[in-house]
Amino acid sequence: MHLPMQARPRSPAHRPAGAAPQPALTPARRLAVRFMLLGAALEVVAAAVGETALGHFLTVKRGELVTYETHVHPWERETYLEIV
């Protein structure tokens, strides 16, 4: 089974010799990184499909997010999404 890069466990062999282990990202830092990646991805998608199609896509996704937030309990998000 092939796992995407972010799902693969990292072993100490991936660090240069003598390098200290990197600390885990804080939730705020993780969110900042996600927003940075999202901004870059939106630029690519807008260039590929156009601003109008991207606008429609984002409208649909915002609606899905509202539905998700009303149906998925905060405990479930805290418990299970931390794994991702």
**What would the pLDDT profile of 40-54 be if each residue is shown by its tens digit?**
888 888 899 998 998
- List the chain residues with pLDDT less than 70: 1-17, 19-22, 82-84
Q: How many C-beta atoms surround the C-beta of residue 54 within 10 A?
A: 16
pLDDT for the residue numbered 59: 92
HSE-CB at 22 with a 13 A cutoff on CA atoms is 8
Say which residue the tokens 């939730």 belong to.
27
Q: Is the pTM of this model over 0.95?
A: no
Confidence (pLDDT) at 67: 93
**pLDDT at position 14:** 57
Is the CB of residue 76 less than 8 Å from the CB of residue 67? no
